[in-house]
């Protein structure tokens, strides 16, 4: 189920999935045996593998969860109630190949999708890794939760520079507003002519990659914390 991001995130200075994904990906074919799948997962220290067909088109994903029913039901005799409730797991307990074991269609993300979109898909779908595909559905890489957290390794100096260029210079031109960043937390301060723009600036700051939080230091006609900010 590939998903594309509306617009081009790179036009807005945002990182895309292709910037942080792992390009070297281990995968298996539809006919890979159960034991081959387990051995590949152990060798590469991964919990899931894309299943490929043809020239590299992603047709499914086989994960540890797909493999566990074989051990769970190895020496058990499930009741009729359990059989009715867990038909899919029982089928996987008897499966022998990746094609029989895999979850399909695969939940994928396109390489040009913005990072927040990939994070949203992982959260909603409760998955830890996503195959990354191109427009033709061919495997390009894989992105994990740890890859998405790489944006928070960005230096405070880089974040501050972008906040000044992208937010302050556009929202508060010539108004003397400053931005200081410490541990990813942006602190805006200065005298503003119209306090209604403060929540707008806060939202724009939060969109800057690597920002952990935004605070507003009162200095001028704006009074009270702006929506979306934390006032120290």
The 3 state secondary structure assigned to 59-87 is EEEEEHHHHHHHHHCCCCCCCHHHHHHCH
State percent of the chain over pLDDT 90: 62
Strand partners, 33: 97
State percent of the chain over pLDDT 70: 84
Lowest mean pLDDT segment, chosen from 1-10, 81-90, 124-133: 1-10
* Average pLDDT taken over every residue of the chain: 85
pLDDT band at 166 (very low <50, low <70, confident <90, very high): very high
Residue 3 confidence (pLDDT) above 50: no
pLDDT digits over 20-38, tens only?
999 989 999 999 999 999 9
**Contact (Cβ atoms closer than 8 angstroms) between residue 184 and residue 211:** yes
pTM: 0.69
Mean pLDDT on 139-155: 92
Which DSSP category does 50 fall into?
E
Number of residues in the chain:
232
pLDDT score for 90: 77
Which DSSP category does 166 fall into?
I
pLDDT score for 12: 45
Q: 166 CB contacts (<8 Å, ≥6 apart)?
A: 13, 204, 208
Residue 130 confidence (pLDDT) above 70: yes
Mean pLDDT on 219-224: 47
Helix runs in the chain, H state only: 17-20, 34-44, 64-72, 80-85, 87-93, 98-101, 115-125, 145-148, 156-162, 169-171, 198-206
pLDDT digits over 106-116, tens only?
999 999 999 98
pLDDT score for 83: 63
- What 3-state class would DSSP assign to 141? strand
pLDDT score for 224: 43
Which residue did the predictor score with more confidence, 222 or 143?
Answer: 143
């Amino acid at each position: 189920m590939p998903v594309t991001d509306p617009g081009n995130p790179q036009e807005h200075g945002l990182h895309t999935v292709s910037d942080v994904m792992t390009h070297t990906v281990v995968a298996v074919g539809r006919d890979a045996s159960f034991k081959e799948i387990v051995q590949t997962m152990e060798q590469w220290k991964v919990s899931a593998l894309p299943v490929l067909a043809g020239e590299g088109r992603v047709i499914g994903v086989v994960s540890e969860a797909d493999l566990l029913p074989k051990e769970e039901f190895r020496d058990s005799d499930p009741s009729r109630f359990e059989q009715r409730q867990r038909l899919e797991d029982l089928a996987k307990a008897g499966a022998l190949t990746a094609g029989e074991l895999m979850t399909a269609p695969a939940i994928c993300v396109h390489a040009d999708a913005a990072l927040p979109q990939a994070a949203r898909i992982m959260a909603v779908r409760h998955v830890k890794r996503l195959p990354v595909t191109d427009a033709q559905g061919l495997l390009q890489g894989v992105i994990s939760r740890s890859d998405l957290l790489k944006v928070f390794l960005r230096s405070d100096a880089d974040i501050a520079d972008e906040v000044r260029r992208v937010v302050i210079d556009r929202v508060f031109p010539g108004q003397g507003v400053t931005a200081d960043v410490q541990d990813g937390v942006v602190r805006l301060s200065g005298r503003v002519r119209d306090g209604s723009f403060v929540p707008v600036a806060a939202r724009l700051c939060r969109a800057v990659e690597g920002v952990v939080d935004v605070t507003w230091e009162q200095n001028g006609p704006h009074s009270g914390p702006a929506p979306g900010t934390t006032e120290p």
